[in-house]
Structure formats: C-alpha cells, structure tokens
Structure 1
Amino acid sequence: MTQTVLITGASTGFGKAAAVHFATNGWQVVATMRDPAAGTDLAAHPNILVTRLDVQDLASIDGAIAEGITRFGAIDAVVNNAGFGLFGIFEGASREKIQEQFDVNVFGVMDVTRAILAHFRARQRGTVVNVSSGAGVFGLPMISLYNASKFALEGFSESLSYELASQGIAVKIVEPGGVLDTRFGARSSDEFGSASVPVGYEAFVAATGKVFEGLRASRHATSEDVAKVIFEATTDGTDRLRYVATDDIRPLIHSRRETSEDAYMHFMREQFRA
C-alpha cells in the first residue's frame, strides 16, 4: 500500500532532496513550504503535492495536513525539516531574533507534531522524523542560539519517543552537519550581517572564523546524502532513535558521546582559543 509523508521546509536543501527521494521510491509526498511558488518543479511530479505551511502559522499547519489527507487518504510520516540558524555572538543578538530561532526550530516542530498526532493515534501508527544537527550534540561558539534550539529539539524528541511508543508511533532524530549545497549557510551569513559584534569580541570572532573556514573546506556531504538517511529513518521499521547523517561530524560526535568530559572540553577549548 502506497504511503504518504509530509515534509516541512521542502523548497530547498534537505527538505527538497527528501521530497524527491521519497517520491522516486514510490511514496506520495506533501511537500510544504512558506511560498508554494518556490516548489513548481516539485509540483510537476505526479506523486508530490506542493502546499503552503509556515511553522509559525498554526492555521497553515492544520490546512496542509488536511489537504494532504484529502489528496492522499492518510499521512504515514512527518519530517520536521524546516529550520534556520542564527550566527553571531550571543550578546549581540536581539531578543526578537532569539524568539524567532525558537519559534521556528522548536515551537514550530512541536506545533506540527501536535497537529498530526490525533491522525496518527487514530490509525495506531505513524512516524515523526525530526531533523536536528550536529549542533544538537556538541556546542560551538557563534551559534549558541542555534545550538540551544537543537539541544531542545533533541531532548523533546527523545522524551516524546517514550510517550508515543505507547501509541504505536515512532520518533526519529536525524543529525546532519557540514552540507554545502543548501541555503542554510547563506541565511546564517545574512543573520550574522544584521547582528552587532560587541566591543571586545573582535579577536575571538576573527579566530573562530578561521576555524569555521577550515571546517567548511572539509565538507563533502550533499543534501541527497541527508535525504537518504531521512528515508532510512522513516522506513527501517526499527525503534532506533538517532541517525548521524554526514561523516564529517562523526569525530565530534564521537568525542562528545564516547570520551570523557574532561578530554572533550579540553579538545574543544583548544580549538576556539582566541
């Protein structure tokens, strides 16, 4: 029986790649985005419905879910992919931007998830896939707000997985990092350009920028690589919670999860010493 997935943030990056990957593997796809005009190429695919969903607009969430169910009969999985990252010194960030970071990356995920759960529970099955980040595992300077949102997402997802298992619903976390062919870096740069650098941080910002340049130079993963892991998490039928989606972040994840706290913190502080 053909299954259906709803994906948020499907106009670019991981979301778009995932929409294509699911569709080419026989799934029906509700590809959602803030501006459906950005998804005209996806809409040409017979298995894909493109519709509006802004995670900050509750009515659009309910509308997209209803439209997907009307078109395809049911929704079997939701991929919470929509998100963005603030980049810059915390002290220079406005409260409005901090609120927006959590509205999209945390509260938006919660609102989409809550909106689909009655449908999933009525069917006693369903899968929620939350796209996190390496930044949900290890902290990095200059992205403290993005880190905070993804750490929150990881904790929420793990806790929710215990609750929803009682209802036959699976929760999965996909952790990508270091992907070049998305708009994520461009939006982060735009956000950094609009933020102020408080006096006294200049040397630290310059030194940290060099570290990030080195990290960017080592990136090899693509959005399609991440889409394959999202698909695996959705379809493997296991109770596995976390999936690391790109190889370049594995050393940091290993250091965070499998070495001592002292060794990890010494290593990280050495990287970012101004």
Structure 2
Amino acid sequence: MKKTVLITGCSSGFGKTSALYFARQGWNVIATMRNTECDAGADLAAMDGVLVTRLDVQDAASIDQAVAAGIARFDRIDALVNNAGFGLFGVFEAMSGDKIREQFDVNVFGVMDVTRALLPHFRHHKAGTIINISSGAGVFTLPMISLYSASKFALEGFSESLSYELAPLGITVKVVEPGGVISTSFGQRSGAEAGHASTLPDYDAFITATSAVFAGLRGQRLATEEDVAKVIYQAATDGTDQLRYVATDDIKPLVKARRESTEADYMQLMRSQFMMR
C-alpha cells in the first residue's frame, strides 16, 4: 500500500523539490501551496499520485480543507512535512510590527496549526511522522536575521517538546536543518522582505561589513534543493526516532561549534566573524 505525505509550501524551493522526490519514490503526495495556479502547481498536478490543493498556513479554513481533500483522495496520510516559511533579513529595529508578527505567523503558528489539524488523523491510526523544516539559523544565530532565527529557535523547541508528547501515541517528530542552498529562491524572498524595512543610518557601517561576510558565506554554498529533499525523505523513511538531521555540509562547522564547544569558545568564534571592532 502506497504511503502518503502532505507537504506545505510546494510552489518553490524545498517544498516543490520534496514533492517531486517523494512522488518519484512511489509515494502519494498532497502538494499544498497558497496559489495552485502557479507553474509548480501545474507541474506537480501532471504527475501520477499527486494532489495539488490550496493551503495557506495563515488561513485555518484552508488547512482543514487541504487535510480533508488529501484524506478523501488517498484515504490515509502517513507523513507531514511542514516546509512553508520565509525569512526576514535586516536589523531588528528597522522591522515593522506587522512583519514581525507575520514571521511568527508563518514559521511558528502556521506549523502548529497544520500539525494540530493532522494530529487527530495520526492518533486514530496510532502512527504518523511530522517533519519540521528548520534551519541552521535554528541552531546558531547570525546578525541581520534575528527574527528568522527567533522563529526557527521557537520551532526547534516546539518540535523537541512535542516529540515527547507524541512518542507514546506512535507519532514521530523530526527536524531537518538545512543551510545555504544555491538553487533555492528563499534568498530572493528574504531580499525582497528586507526592502520593506525602514533605513536607519546608524547601522550602515555594520550592515556593509556584515553583508561582506554573508557574500563570502554564499560562495560556500554547494548543496542543492534535491540534496535537502533526500534528507527529508530519509527522515520520513528511516524508521528511527532520530530527532534532528543536519541537511547540508556548509553549516556543519557552526552546528558543531554551537553544540560541542564551550559557550565562551563559541561566542569568541562568532564575535570574531561578525562584530566590528
């Protein structure tokens, strides 16, 4: 019997690539997105075993409708990939309250709402896998992404605590942590979001220096969206209770520093790279 996965944010990036990857491995896929009329929607709808349906994580009714449509089509959902998200880029003081709330509405509360919508189905079957797409920014922080990091740190804490609650019910929670990926459109959206921030000249020198560091980091990105999709698929199929998966090599040194160094050594490393003297 074919298994079924529901994936959010399938219009581009990890969501679209994961939907294609799962389908090619023989899974049924409920590929959800805010706008099903986009090119990705048409591409996915043309594949066997793929249902394209609308789901906006900020619209509770659309979440319930997407879950119901998936169950009606495939009878059962075995895995959920909470992928939909975006990142605000810029200094915290320059961000509007509306954008701050949107960051958490999408990256945290949206994940919670989609998860809650599927939990009765998973509990009924005493099985299910929830995979939350976090980020290296959910393990360590970088300047200019304080709000994105805050949302991903919240997601990491939520996921870990939830895993304890759901394990006795046969439901597994997993977290996938990607870093920079050369092919994703995530960076373009983050840049567009930065355009909404007001300018504060006092930060100009810091922003210039930090942007140069980020340019160097971008040059180290060697992973692709498919590399991350393979790790997401591994998390869904390896049959273990492993909680976290680091999905790209570029962030492994910083993850190692955060998780295995002393606090003093870690902070000295990060400040040497990002703090102006």
- What's the TM-score, normalizing by structure 2? 0.98
| Matching residue of 2:2 | 2
Q: Does 2:11 match 1:11?
A: yes
- Corresponding residue for residue 135 of structure 2: 133
Aligned to 2:162: 160
Equivalent runs, 1:169-208 vs 2, <5 Å: 169-208=171-210
One-letter amino acid of the structure 2 residue matched with residue 238 of structure 1: T
Q: Distance in 2 between matches of 1:23 and 1:272?
A: 42
Counterpart for residue 143 of structure 1:
145
**SS, match of residue 37 in structure 2:** helix
- 1:149 partner letter: S
Deviations 1:129-173 (A, max 9, x none): 000000000011000000000000000000000000011000000
Question: Aligned partners of 1:23 and 1:185: how far apart in 2?
Answer: 26
Alignment equivalent of 1:100, drawn from 82, 99, 102: 102
Shift of 1:199: 2.7
Amino acid across the alignment from 2:36 = P
Alignment partner of 2:51: what SS? strand
**Residue 71 of structure 1, CA deviation:** 0.4
The whole-number CA distance in structure 1 between the counterparts of 2:208 and 2:144 is 11
Q: Aligned match of 1:77 in 70, 76, 79? A: 79
Report the Cα distance in structure 2 between the residues aligned to 1:100 and 1:273, rounded to whole angstroms.
28
Contact 1:164–1:170 (8 Å) recurs in 2? yes
Amino acid in the other structure paired with 2:8 = T
CA distance in 1, matches of 2:199, 2:239: 47
Cα RMSD over matched residues? 0.6
Match of 2:217 among 215, 218, 229: 215
Which runs of no fewer than 5 residues in structure 1 stay unpaired? none
What SS class does the counterpart of residue 50 from structure 1 fall into?
strand
| Distance apart, 1:273 and its partner CA | 2.1
**Distance across 2 between alignment mates of 1:97 and 1:13:** 22
Q: Secondary structure at the match of 1:128?
A: strand
What's the offset of the Cα at 1:198? 1.7
Q: Which residue of 2 aligns with 1:251?
A: 253
Cα distance in 2 for residues equivalent to 1:29 and 1:190: 30
Which stretches in structure 2 are left out of the alignment for 5+ residues?
none
Q: What is the alpha-carbon distance in structure 1 between the residues aligned to residue 194 and residue 105 of structure 2?
A: 19
Structure 1 counterpart SS, 2:169? coil
The percent of aligned pairs where both chains have the same amino acid is 68
Residue 194 of structure 1 aligns to a residue in which SS?
coil
1:260 alignment partner in structure 2: 262
Counterpart of 2:231 in structure 1 is 229
Q: 1:118 — aligned with what? A: 120
Secondary structure, in 3 states, of the residue corresponding to 1:166?
A: helix
Q: Is the 8 A contact 1:129 1:174 kept in 2?
A: yes
AA matched with 2:177 = E
Distance 2:180 2:132 in 1: 18
The Cα of 1:197 is off from its aligned counterpart by 2.9
**Count of aligned residue pairs for this structure pair:** 274
Whichever residue aligns with residue 272 of structure 2, its letter is E
SS where residue 30 of structure 1 aligns? Answer: strand
The structure 1 segments of at least 4 consecutive aligned residues displaced by more than 6 Å after TM superposition are: none
Structure 2 counterpart of 1:46? 48
Q: Distance in 1 between matches of 2:166 and 2:197?
A: 39
TM-score of the aligned structures, taking structure 1 as reference length: 0.99
The answer to whether 1:68 aligns with 2:73 is no
Give the Cα separation in 2 of the matches to 1:93 and 1:180.
Answer: 26
- CA-CA distance at 1:269 after TM superposition: 0.5
What do residues 158-212 of structure 1 show as CA deviations (whole Å, max 9, x unaligned)? Answer: 0000000011000000000111211110011011122123231111000000000
